[in-house]
Structure 1
Amino acid sequence: AENLTRALKGESKMQGNWGELVLERVLEKSGLEKDREYSVQQSFRREDGSRSLPDVIIHLPNGNQMIVDSKVSLTHYERYVNAEEAQQEAFLKEHLNSLKKHVEQLSAKKYEDIYEIESPDFVLMFVPIETAFTIAINTEPELYNKAFEHNIVIVTPSTLLATLRTIDSMWSNEKQRRNAIEIARQAGALYDKFEGLVTDLTQVGKRMDEAKNEYSGAMNKLVTGRGNIIGRIEKLKKMGAKTKKSLPETILKRAEEANVSGSEELDL
Structure 2
Amino acid sequence: MEILLLIIGLVVGGALGALTAWFVGARRADAGAGAPGEDPALVAARHERELLEVRAEAQAALARARADEQRVQGELRAELSAVEATAVGLREQVLAAQQQYRELVERQRADQAAREQRELAESKVLQALAPVKQTISDMQAKVTQLEQQRHLQHGELSQQLKIAAENEERLRSTAETLASALRSNSTRGVWGETQLRSVVEAAGLIERVDFDTQRSITTDSGAGRPDMVIHLPGGKHIAVDAKVPFNAYLEASQIPPTATGTEGAQRESLMKGHVRAVRDHITALGSKTYWEGLGASPEMVIAFIPSESLISSALEADPALLEFAFSKRVALASPVTLWSVLKTVAFSWQQDVLTNEAKTLFDLSRELYSRLSTTAGQLEKLGRTIERTVKDYNAFVGSLESRVLPTARKLSALDETKVFATLEGIDESPRELTAYEFTTAIAAESTDRAELESVVDAEIDAADVAEPADDEVSLDSDPALELDVLPGTEHLVADIDPDIRRSADA
CA separation of 1:104 and 1:32: change in aligned 2, threshold 3 A? same
Question: For 1:99-118, what per-residue CA distance to the aligned partner results, in whole angstroms no more than 9, with x for missing partners?
Answer: 1111111111111221x532
Following superposition, the deviation at residue 175 of structure 1 comes to 2.4
State the distance in 2 between where 1:251 and 1:62 align: 75
Aligned match of 2:204: 31
CA contact under 8 A between 2:412 and 2:418: conserved in structure 1? no
Aligned match of 2:61: none
* Larger Rg, first or second structure (1 or 2): 2
CA separation of 1:57 and 1:229: change in aligned 2, threshold 3 A? same
Aligned match of 2:405: 230
CA separation of 1:194 and 1:47: change in aligned 2, threshold 3 A? farther
- Of 323, 327, 341, which residue of structure 2 is paired with 1:163? 341
CA separation of 1:202 and 1:237: change in aligned 2, threshold 3 A? same
- Of 362, 371, 376, which residue of structure 2 is paired with 1:198? 376
CA separation of 1:40 and 1:247: change in aligned 2, threshold 3 A? farther
Does structure 1 residue 184 correspond to structure 2 residue 355?
no
Does structure 1 residue 77 correspond to structure 2 residue 249?
yes
Amino acid at match of 1:106: L
Does structure 1 residue 121 correspond to structure 2 residue 299?
yes
Secondary structure (helix, strand or coil) at the match of 1:128 reads coil
CA contact under 8 A between 1:68 and 1:126: conserved in structure 2? yes
CA separation of 1:188 and 1:7: change in aligned 2, threshold 3 A? farther
Query: Higher helix share goes to which structure?
Result: 2
Using structure 2 for the length normalisation, give the TM-score.
0.45
State the distance in 2 between where 1:182 and 1:15 align: 47
> Comparing 21-30 with 82-91, which one deviates more in the overlay?
82-91
How many residue pairs match? The answer is 243
> Comparing 53-62 with 127-136, which one deviates more in the overlay?
53-62
CA separation of 1:4 and 1:144: change in aligned 2, threshold 3 A? farther
Does structure 1 residue 54 correspond to structure 2 residue 229?
no
Aligned match of 1:89: 268
Amino acid at match of 2:199: V
State the distance in 1 between where 2:382 and 2:331 align: 70
- Of 19, 40, 45, which residue of structure 1 is paired with 2:192? 19
State the distance in 2 between where 1:47 and 1:102 align: 20
Secondary structure (helix, strand or coil) at the match of 2:332 reads strand
Secondary structure (helix, strand or coil) at the match of 2:195 reads helix
State the distance in 1 between where 2:224 and 2:321 align: 26
Secondary structure (helix, strand or coil) at the match of 1:250 reads coil
Correspondences of 1:136-147 after superposition (within 5 Å): 136-147=314-325
Question: For 1:190-225, what per-residue CA distance to the aligned partner results, in whole angstroms no more than 9, with x for missing partners?
Answer: 2122222222221111101111111111121112x2
Following superposition, the deviation at residue 46 of structure 1 comes to 4.0
Following superposition, the deviation at residue 73 of structure 1 comes to 2.9
CA contact under 8 A between 1:58 and 1:66: conserved in structure 2? yes
Aligned match of 1:218: 396
State the distance in 1 between where 2:288 and 2:273 align: 23
Following superposition, the deviation at residue 251 of structure 1 comes to 3.9
Question: For 1:15-66, what per-residue CA distance to the aligned partner results, in whole angstroms no more than 9, with x for missing partners?
Answer: 0100111111111111223322222222234468x54321111111132211
State the distance in 2 between where 1:60 and 1:95 align: 33
Following superposition, the deviation at residue 246 of structure 1 comes to 4.9
Secondary structure (helix, strand or coil) at the match of 1:187 reads helix
Secondary structure (helix, strand or coil) at the match of 1:58 reads strand
| Percent identity over paired residues | 25
CA contact under 8 A between 2:272 and 2:317: conserved in structure 1? no
> Comparing 74-83 with 99-108, which one deviates more in the overlay?
74-83
Does structure 1 residue 66 correspond to structure 2 residue 238?
yes
State the distance in 2 between where 1:4 and 1:199 align: 78
State the distance in 2 between where 1:201 and 1:132 align: 74
> Gapped runs of 5+ residues in structure 1?
255-268
Aligned match of 1:8: 182
